[in-house]
């Protein structure tokens, strides 16, 4: 059934929007009361070349996003680089293993891993202050100090030096884990946010892969190769410092700091290609002004208010629960066991070349994260989240079952172990691994984002700390509890790995319940609108009817028929009929 409204047009802009992605559309700004979806009616001439459409990404935006993503690469590399050098599955240990120079006990190995997590917890918790007061850009730049110093210290053959260095790497990782995804989210348009924000997870996986490849080359073949693996972390940090002129400040942060012209300049740089004639530049300026107005509408009165305090942050009760639980389950479903101890666990499962298995995990993680970044804006967030978690659950049950079974040939165990691990990584990378950062960015408003992210990443790092501290000890304890008298040490360890993965399968079941009943679909929602849906008001969740101010009134296939009747003149504020 159709219905008619008559409203005054206040402004007119030309751009592309997802409602008709292959069409050139006239977009207008209307009073809130007029919010409604229009039926495409009138064709318009195609946009001049050189102007970004809302669903596309300019080379400048890609360059900025990938430079920001170097911090995410450091995140992944710092987490994984100890895993690749701490293995000793054969006698003697590989010539490049850290254990050839330092006789680290099991507890000391776990402590070295845990120091990174402790640093990350503290870094993530306290990063909200510089992020809010000095901006995302400066916070990201000065954060490289932790990686530069920490990378040097971890290459020194001293337990104390390694522990301090790992702690500094953790501080840098914690700050990065809340600054980089926020900045990526805030330089993207609503329509490209999924792809741009998922670069954070993509670069984390790339950092893990690079660590695995360097370890695969240096640890078995180079004396003291572990030093080179640890020292490599300095290079991406130095590169980001050199390329920092490519990193923009967040337009949202600039608007909240009452720096509208600076925000306009940033958006112009990110949204308009260098190539293009005067008409293209003029059209680009219109698009930037439209986005500025839309951002101001989304941010609303919060632009003139001080940064939200902790009490107001937690007033967004459902949004905070979604973010905290999303980060909690992303760790407690087992992915960090793969990252921290994959080489060791492959060896325990009887895989002959544990290093190669770890490299395969890293390669698959990168490829599938790229696929997820493409699908997140097309298939939707929730489909990927639930589908990926189901795949993780099946793979964990398969791996646990084969390790628990009696009489299975070692070759079969090795094949199933590698296959299950790869399938598990596929599920994580296509789902919660990449999509969690997109969803939490869309359910949290700008004014509380820094503090909310600090809580989210602290939740994640707390879970990571528990895993890093207990994984190897838990494998040992679970294996001894299940093994029969006289079982070999190798059999006890295999049973311990099996029971551990069964525990992670149970966490996947809880994660699925959380995703189905608490997490909404946020695809193509404006950030502030999605966030408003999750604010606690008088002990209930009030869903505000926040109107989207951009509406389609005229669309045409870009290669279709010529224009017909011209649209009403905005300057004359002609009534527009909505069907």
- Over residues 429-480, the pLDDT tens digits come to 888 887 887 888 778 877 787 788 888 888 888 887 887 777 777 888 888 8
With respect to residue 47, please indicate whether it lies within any of the assigned structural domains.
Answer: yes
**Top-confidence range, 47-56, 76-85, 530-539, 556-565:** 76-85
395, 420 Cβ separation under 8 angstroms:
yes
Beta strands in 435-539 (DSSP E): 536-537
Give residue 409's pLDDT: 83
Q: Counting Cβ atoms within 10 Å, is residue 115 exposed (0-12), middle (13-18) or buried (19+)?
A: buried
CA 455 to chain centre: 15
Q: How far is CA 546 from CA 31, 277, 284, 319, in A?
A: 12, 37, 27, 16
Q: How confident is the model at residue 4 (pLDDT cuts 50, 70, 90)?
A: very low
* Domain co-membership, 261 together with 246: no
Q: Which of 194-208, 240-254, 308-322, 565-579 has the lowest mean pLDDT?
A: 565-579
* Domain co-membership, 198 together with 115: yes
With respect to residue 129, please indicate whether it lies within any of the assigned structural domains.
Answer: yes
> Which residue has better confidence, 87 or 82?
82
Give residue 234's pLDDT: 95
* Domain co-membership, 311 together with 301: no
Is the pLDDT at 563 greater than 50, yes or no? no
With respect to residue 37, please indicate whether it lies within any of the assigned structural domains.
Answer: yes
Give residue 170's pLDDT: 93
Residue from 568, 573, 63 nearest 270 by CA: 63
Residue 360 has φ and ψ, to the nearest 5°, of -60, -40
Q: For residue 51, give the DSSP letter.
A: B
CATH number at residue 443: 1.20.1250.20
Strand, helix or coil at 373? helix
Residue from 80, 159, 134 nearest 336 by CA: 80
Distance CA 468, CA 306 (A): 38
With respect to residue 331, please indicate whether it lies within any of the assigned structural domains.
Answer: yes
Mapping DSSP onto H, E and C, the string for 279-347 reads HHHHHHHHHHHHHHHHHHHHHHHHHHCCCCCHHHHHHCHHHHHHHHHHHHHHHHCCHHHHHHHHHHHHH
With respect to residue 330, please indicate whether it lies within any of the assigned structural domains.
Answer: yes
Give residues with Cβ within 8 angstroms of 534, minimum separation 6.
Answer: 316, 317, 318, 319, 322, 443, 520, 541
Distance CA 24, CA 44 (A): 6
Residue 376 has φ and ψ, to the nearest 5°, of -60, -30
Give residue 212's pLDDT: 83
Give residue 73's pLDDT: 95
Residue 578 has φ and ψ, to the nearest 5°, of -110, 130
Give residue 520's pLDDT: 83
Instruction: Give the mean pLDDT of 44-67.
Output: 63
Strand partners, 8: 575
Token pair for 553: 């009134």
Q: Which of 120-124, 335-339, 507-511 has the lowest mean pLDDT?
A: 335-339
Mean pLDDT taken over the chain: 74
Query: What predicted TM-score, i.e. pTM, was given to this entire model?
Result: 0.69
Residue 485 has φ and ψ, to the nearest 5°, of -60, 135
With respect to residue 571, please indicate whether it lies within any of the assigned structural domains.
Answer: no
Write out pLDDT tens, residues 149-202.
999 999 998 889 999 999 999 999 999 988 998 899 888 877 777 778 888 888
Give residue 209's pLDDT: 87
**Top-confidence range, 138-147, 357-366, 462-471, 494-503:** 138-147
Give residue 339's pLDDT: 62
Q: Which of 50-64, 313-327, 553-567 has the lowest mean pLDDT?
A: 553-567
With respect to residue 377, please indicate whether it lies within any of the assigned structural domains.
Answer: yes
Neighbours of 285 (CB within 10 A): 15
Distance CA 352, CA 65 (A): 39
Q: How confident is the model at residue 11 (pLDDT cuts 50, 70, 90)?
A: very low
* Domain co-membership, 291 together with 353: no
Element (H, E) at 14: strand 11-15
Of the three residues 260, 276, 305, the one that is the final residue of a domain is: 305
Element (H, E) at 211: helix 193-218
Distance CA 140, CA 143 (A): 5
Distance CA 86, CA 94 (A): 10
Of the three residues 287, 305, 323, the one that is the final residue of a domain is: 305
* Domain co-membership, 320 together with 349: yes
Distance CA 514, CA 542 (A): 20
Residue 149 has φ and ψ, to the nearest 5°, of -75, -45
* Domain co-membership, 212 together with 298: no
* Domain co-membership, 406 together with 467: yes
Residue with tokens 């360097």: 214
Is the pLDDT at 267 greater than 70, yes or no? yes
Identify the domain containing residue 410 by its residue range: 59-250+306-529
Is the pLDDT at 58 greater than 50, yes or no? yes
Q: In b/e form, how buried is each residue of 478-517, taking b as 16+ CB within 10 angstroms? A: bbeebbeeeeeeeebbbbbbbbbbbebbebbeebbebbee
Distance CA 551, CA 513 (A): 36
Give residues with Cβ within 8 angstroms of 381, minimum separation 6.
Answer: 194, 435, 438, 439, 442, 519, 521, 522, 523
Give residue 463's pLDDT: 84
* Domain co-membership, 207 together with 332: yes
Is the pLDDT at 27 greater than 90, yes or no? no
Residue 315 has φ and ψ, to the nearest 5°, of -70, -20
Q: How many residues does the chain have?
A: 579
Q: In b/e form, how buried is each residue of 428-461, taking b as 16+ CB within 10 angstroms? A: bbbbbbbbbbbbbbbbbbbbbbbbbbbbbbbbbb
Q: How many domains does the chain have?
A: 3
Q: How confident is the model at residue 350 (pLDDT cuts 50, 70, 90)?
A: low
Strand partners, 252: none
Q: Which of 373-377, 390-394, 442-446 has the lowest mean pLDDT?
A: 373-377
Give residue 233's pLDDT: 94
What percentage of the chain carries pLDDT values higher than 70?
73
> Which residue has better confidence, 554 or 73?
73
* Domain co-membership, 65 together with 19: no
Write out pLDDT tens, residues 304-343.
556 667 788 888 888 889 989 998 998 899 887 766 666 6
Residue from 250, 292, 273, 288 nearest 60 by CA: 273
Distance CA 173, CA 457 (A): 10
Distance CA 351, CA 520 (A): 41
* Domain co-membership, 267 together with 343: no
Output the CA torsion 269→450→339→408 (10° steps). -120
* Domain co-membership, 263 together with 361: no
Is the pLDDT at 217 greater than 90, yes or no? no
Q: Which strand ranges, in their side-by-side order, compose the sheet holding 11-15?
A: 11-15, 23-29, 550-557
Instruction: Give the mean pLDDT of 103-131.
Output: 85
Is the pLDDT at 274 greater than 80, yes or no? no
Give residue 59's pLDDT: 83
Q: How far is CA 552 from CA 38, 42, 136, 276, in A?
A: 6, 10, 33, 25
* Domain co-membership, 224 together with 312: yes
Token pair for 444: 């949290």
With respect to residue 537, please indicate whether it lies within any of the assigned structural domains.
Answer: no
- Cis-peptide, bond into residue 505, ω within 30° of zero: no
């Amino acid at each position: 059934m159709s219905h008619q409204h008559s409203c005054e047009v206040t402004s007119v802009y030309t751009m592309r929007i997802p409602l008709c992605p292959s069409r050139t559309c006239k977009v207008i700004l209307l009073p809130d009361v007029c919010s409604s979806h229009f039926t495409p009616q009138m064709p318009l001439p195609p946009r001049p070349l050189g102007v970004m459409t809302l669903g596309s990404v300019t080379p400048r935006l890609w360059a900025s996003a990938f430079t920001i993503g170097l911090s995410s690469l450091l995140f992944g590399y710092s987490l994984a680089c100890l895993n690749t050098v701490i293995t000793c599955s054969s006698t003697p240990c590989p010539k490049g293993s850290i254990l050839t120079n330092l006789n680290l006990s099991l507890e000391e190995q776990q402590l070295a891993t845990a120091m990174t997590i402790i640093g990350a917890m503290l870094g993530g918790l306290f990063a909200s202050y510089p992020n809010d007061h000095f901006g995302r850009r400066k916070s990201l730049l000065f954060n490289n100090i932790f990686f530069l110093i920490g990378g040097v210290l971890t290459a020194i053959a001293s337990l104390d030096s390694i522990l301090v260095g790992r702690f500094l790497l953790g501080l840098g990782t914690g700050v990065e884990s809340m600054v980089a995804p926020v900045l990526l989210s805030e330089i993207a348009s609503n329509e490209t946010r999924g792809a741009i924000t998922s670069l954070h997870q993509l670069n984390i996986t790339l950092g893990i892969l690079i660590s695995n490849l360097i370890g695969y080359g240096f640890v078995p073949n180079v004396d003291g190769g572990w030093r080179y693996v640890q020292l490599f972390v300095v290079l991406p940090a130095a590169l980001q410092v050199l390329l920092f002129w490519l990193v923009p400040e967040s337009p949202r942060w600039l608007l909240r700091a009452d720096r509208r012209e600076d925000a306009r300049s940033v958006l112009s740089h990110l949204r308009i290609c260098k190539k293009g004639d005067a008409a293209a530049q003029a059209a680009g300026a219109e698009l930037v002004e439209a986005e500025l107005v839309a951002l101001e509408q989304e941010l609303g009165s919060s632009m003139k208010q001080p940064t939200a305090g902790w009490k107001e942050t937690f007033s967004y009760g459902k949004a905070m629960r979604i973010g905290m639980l999303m980060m909690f389950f992303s760790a407690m479903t087992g992915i960090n066991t793969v990252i921290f101890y994959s080489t060791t666990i492959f060896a325990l499962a009887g895989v002959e070349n544990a290093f190669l298995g770890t490299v395969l995990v890293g390669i698959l993680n990168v490829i599938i994260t790229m696929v997820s970044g493409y699908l997140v804006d097309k298939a939707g967030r929730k489909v990927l989240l639930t589908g990926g978690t189901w795949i993780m659950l099946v793979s964990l049950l398969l791996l646990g079952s084969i390790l628990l079974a009696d009489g299975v040939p070692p070759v079969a165990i090795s094949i199933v172990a590698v296959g299950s691990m790869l399938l598990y990584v596929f599920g994580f990378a296509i789902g919660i691994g990449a999509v969690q950062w997109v969803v939490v960015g869309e359910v949290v408003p700008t004014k509380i984002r820094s503090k909310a992210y600090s809580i989210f990443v602290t939740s994640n790092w707390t879970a990571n700390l528990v895993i890093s501290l207990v994984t190897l000890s838990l494998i040992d304890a679970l294996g001894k509890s299940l093994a029969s008298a006289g079982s070999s040490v190798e059999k006890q360890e295999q049973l311990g790995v099996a029971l551990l993965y069964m525990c992670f399968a149970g966490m996947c079941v809880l994660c699925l319940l959380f995703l189905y009943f608490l997490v909404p679909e946020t695809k193509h929602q404006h950030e502030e609108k999605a966030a408003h849906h999750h604010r606690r008001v008088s002990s209930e969740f009030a869903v505000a009817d926040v109107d989207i101010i951009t509406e389609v009134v005229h669309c045409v296939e870009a290669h279709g028929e010529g224009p017909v009747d011209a649209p009403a003149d905005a300057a004359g504020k002609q009534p527009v009929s909505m069907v």
